[in-house]
Structure 1
């Protein structure tokens, strides 16, 4: 009987060994795999990792997970997680999904290992035709090593839209060791921003001690297409550690403020311009910002044929934002000009913070040109003569110009019954508003009728610039009175003669009629 049972067992064993074993299947088992967990302090790190569905037991298969939602924790200690959510449509057994997290790592973070919680929500088929939802938290481990670490301490910029300025960036080594042979690279991805002559610029530091601040200056140009406001540049630092190994910082964000372009308002403009005269145009220029204008010069464009500029620019020095300075231009108005309003176009040239020459937009301003005024005021002092007599003709001459006139030659002209034996007088110099009396010799003929006669008078003189000018003609009144002692036939005898002639004529007429 025992032999028979043993034979049955042997046969059963052989039969079982010939039939394949039934494969076992487990539920999803999701884990993280990371190749490089090292974080660089002082910026945003993009950490790449894989999500893997692979059971760890003896089972042959793991069920697929699908609709996998990954929600990282908002922060882990000093690390801010900038990625809000990740999604994987399907996660089959053994096929990893490539993902990444954005981690903002402060520059002063302590070295060590940090675990980022990942809250998972996913579904799978339980093998009986039913979908099952599961929630689970797994962890992504990252590590901060000791060594140089960098933080942006401060930035400032003087660059204006359409201009060139300086971007100053101050950085600090907040790591645990010094950095050697460091290269700071600053780059711009905005087409409207140039760094030096291109889109990037570098600076070198031989030794950067722990806790040391370093300030770097970069020449920055903003094109006319730039907008006033904030831009972001990127910086990276490549360095050597004390042990000789090399490293690189994560990308550091460098803010850049694009300032409005330089502007100037010209105010308090007044003029003493008159037709046929040289006058002045005065005003005030103000730097309305946003930065200092070095070696500022106010310019005045050619205003046209009837106005002539003695100078086209006036230096007013350096102007801080909000600071003003006066200016004066000498302008000559031709005698062919007409009185009325004129537009003058001012401008300002200056040197910016990069010592480059810059020019403001045109600043149009209106001024008035007054009617021509006489060069002199002429007032007679002694200008009354008796018919048949003469004497000294005295005239007070006053300089109406706002500058001195020299070598003034005065001359008079007259018609009969007036005559002159001395028709010229000379004045060496007249200051503005100064008066002097000139004298001539004038006679009135004996047959002159008692009335007012005009005496014409003009002047030849020299301007301060050396030009010799002949003035307009002035008319000065001269009074002639009758001779009280005779001169001409007496009135009573003439009346008598007329009466006799009338009587005689009437008698003769009467006789001829008889």
Structure 2
């Protein structure tokens, strides 16, 4: 019995040094999946990838557990998508992740689906490139490491579905330079599916044309069937610094698909050309008003076009309290219909105080 115990002790002593000097061996274990695997023709959306590192620790360290994380961490990780045979394009196809320990990360890629994309299932190739420390030595060789580079290929599946699509059919601007008017936009659902709770959003790219001082405006389209056309009107203000030239607006349809998911159509650029500014010129001003007295002021004006106006009024405003119109600082006279090139003379009763000669 004593001999048996001694033999077991010797065996145990011969194994112990090997355990202390064991190598730490492992690697990252990556997986890539698609967050939302559906899109529609003509859609501007995002391809969201979920990248998971489960880690593969084959031999770990009890004495230095922090070294276990080093062999399962991917370093300098980049994830690149490719359209492959899919009818999509990516604004930027690579995301730099850098250091990626065990865990999960979501990466988003701006994606546009072609307008004439055929519904169906498409494969999106994905490439992950990274470095990692495969082996860390302990014991007498402590500090020695083996670092490897890895290039892994993945595939995710994208489903392109039938859905509504935005097509701008007509744009009719009534707004004039220096005033506010309407812009009528006619759109058609050129897709194969109905859109629910649809809205058409316009965004001006230039501050000279706005929606009451803001750059965006939205109008409801409601339920929007395939092939159906809708016309919506927007109130657009054109600054006096604007000109009768095309200004770019972005048109986008926002809606819910048949499954109740929020969708955004591909953005369409439309041109809005404000009409030429309507102008009037002062031809002459005649006054019979004396200081500290009353009299009349006659103003003759010409409609310089470009259009005839109706129900026109001419307002005269005083810039000083020494001149008033029956106690008011302004007065208006009706001029009625007014053709281009035609003149109108309007008369105002004016009172001047004794201070009028100093103004």
TM-score by length of 2: 0.60
CA distance in 2, matches of 1:306, 1:96: 76
Asked if the contact 2:28/2:74 (under 8 Å) is kept, the reply is yes
1:185-208, CA deviations, whole angstroms, 9 ceiling, x for partnerless residues? 23578996469xx96432223x62
Query: What's the counterpart of residue 72 of structure 1?
Result: 81
SS in 1 for 2:145: coil
Query: What's the counterpart of residue 507 of structure 1?
Result: none
- The structure-2 alpha-carbon separation of the partners of 1:333 and 1:40, relative to structure 1 and needing over 3 Å to count, comes to closer
Query: What's the counterpart of residue 85 of structure 1?
Result: 94
The equivalences for 1:471-490 within 5 A come to none
Query: What's the counterpart of residue 167 of structure 2?
Result: 152
Between stretches 148-157 and 49-58, larger displacement belongs to: 49-58
Unaligned 5+ segments in structure 2 are 1-6, 61-67, 136-143, 290-294, 326-331, 353-359
SS in 2 for 1:109: coil
Query: What's the counterpart of residue 198 of structure 2?
Result: 184
Q: Does 1:238 align with 2:252?
A: no
Q: Does 1:269 align with 2:277?
A: no
Query: What's the counterpart of residue 329 of structure 1?
Result: 345
The equivalences for 1:160-199 within 5 A come to 163-175=180-192, 178-179=193-194, 182-187=196-201, 193=211
CA distance in 1, matches of 2:87, 2:310: 50
CA distance in 2, matches of 1:297, 1:266: 11
Q: Does 1:38 align with 2:46?
A: no
SS in 2 for 1:249: strand
1:412-459, CA deviations, whole angstroms, 9 ceiling, x for partnerless residues? xxxxxxxxxxxxxxxxxxxxxxxxxxxxxxxxxxxxxxxxxxxxxxxx
CA distance in 2, matches of 1:213, 1:172: 6
CA distance in 1, matches of 2:57, 2:287: 106
Q: Does 1:102 align with 2:119?
A: no
Q: Does 1:286 align with 2:304?
A: yes
The equivalences for 1:321-400 within 5 A come to 324-329=340-345, 331=347
Query: What's the counterpart of residue 114 of structure 1?
Result: 122
Query: What's the counterpart of residue 142 of structure 1?
Result: 158
TM-fit CA distance, 1:64? 1.9
- The structure-2 alpha-carbon separation of the partners of 1:27 and 1:58, relative to structure 1 and needing over 3 Å to count, comes to closer
SS in 1 for 2:279: strand
Asked if the contact 1:148/1:174 (under 8 Å) is kept, the reply is yes
TM-fit CA distance, 1:76? 5.2
- Which protein has greater RCO, CA pairs closer than 8 Å, 6+ apart? 2
CA distance in 2, matches of 1:162, 1:333: 30
Between the two proteins, the alignment pairs up a number of residues equal to 294
Unaligned 5+ segments in structure 1 are 1-7, 337-514
Asked if the contact 1:231/1:256 (under 8 Å) is kept, the reply is yes
TM-score by length of 1: 0.45
Query: What's the counterpart of residue 328 of structure 2?
Result: none
Asked which structure has the greater CA Rg, the reply is 1
CA distance in 2, matches of 1:92, 1:131: 16
